[in-house]
Structures are given as C-alpha cells and as structure tokens.
Amino acid sequence: MIVLDCSAAVEIARDSAEGRALAGLMHEDETIVAPSLLLVEASNVAFKYFRAGLLDRAGALALLEDSLALVDGFADMVVLAREALGESMRLGHPAYDLFYLVLARRLGATLFTLDKGLLSLCEECGVDTVHELPTDGE
C-alpha cells in the first residue's frame, strides 16, 4: 500500500523525471491512498502553475484531475487530526505534512513524497519511504 503526498502526485501527473521514477516503483495492483488534504494541496499547486503562466485553465484542471486520479481512496482528515497535531507538536513540524506520515504509519504503508523534510521525519519515526530515485537526468 502507498500513501501519496501532493509533491509526489503532482510530479507523477506532470510526468517529470522524478514522477516517472516514482510511478515506476508502483505495482499495478497496489492500493494508493491519501488524506483528503491532497484535494486542497493539489488544487493549490494547480492554481500556482496557472498564476505563474505555466498552465492555462484547462492545463491546471487537467493537472488536478490527473493528480487525484492516482488515488484509489481518500482518508478522512477528521480521524487523523488529533494524532497529526500531536506529532506536529512533538516533532516541531507543520501539521499538514503529518497527516501523510500518520496515515502511512497507521496503514503500515510506504509514503511517496519528494519533500526532503517529510522524508527525514519519516526516517526518524520509522515510516517507510522511498529515498533515492533513479531519474533519466531531467
């Protein structure tokens, strides 16, 4: 099982070198989940690409749709909130990242992220992640 964070989902959807490397590590029958926070974060990333002139409206919507289509199921943030806040206070890290960590830990899943800070936290907390990605030089 994979927990997918926004950085990973967007790069897979963009078909970047890192995204292709992550996608290559996914098994066809593997379940992919994310906290419902991904809906908000991916929407915001798509907006930022639009605002920067990197995508038009259709492209921004496609990026959002492609990012969300990677996920088989969304976990309700309400059931993760207390634990995510507790870990945030304990680790001194913003709470929104901890929703992904907590979900991966609860499910015994591998967290796919490109966020170096979150990768370090996962290592510290014993949550499985992907650390080094082979890329095609992009």
- Provide the pLDDT for residue 134: 60
> Beta partners for 2?
32, 110
- As a whole number of angstroms, the distance between CA 113 and CA 107 comes to 16
| Residue 39 CB neighbour total at 10 angstroms | 17
* pLDDT tens, N- to C-terminus, the chain (138 residues): 999 999 999 999 999 999 999 999 999 899 999 999 999 999 999 999 999 999 999 999 999 999 999 999 999 999 999 999 999 999 999 999 999 999 999 999 999 999 999 989 999 999 999 866 665 555
Candidates 76, 95, 19; CA nearest to 121 is 95
- Provide the pLDDT for residue 35: 98
Helix 6-14 to helix 17-24 angle, to the nearest 10 degrees?
A: 100
Fold of 2-125: Rossmann fold (3.40.50)
- Provide the pLDDT for residue 137: 53
- Provide the pLDDT for residue 39: 97
Residue matched to tokens 């967007």: 10
Q: In the chain, where are the structural domains located?
A: 2-125
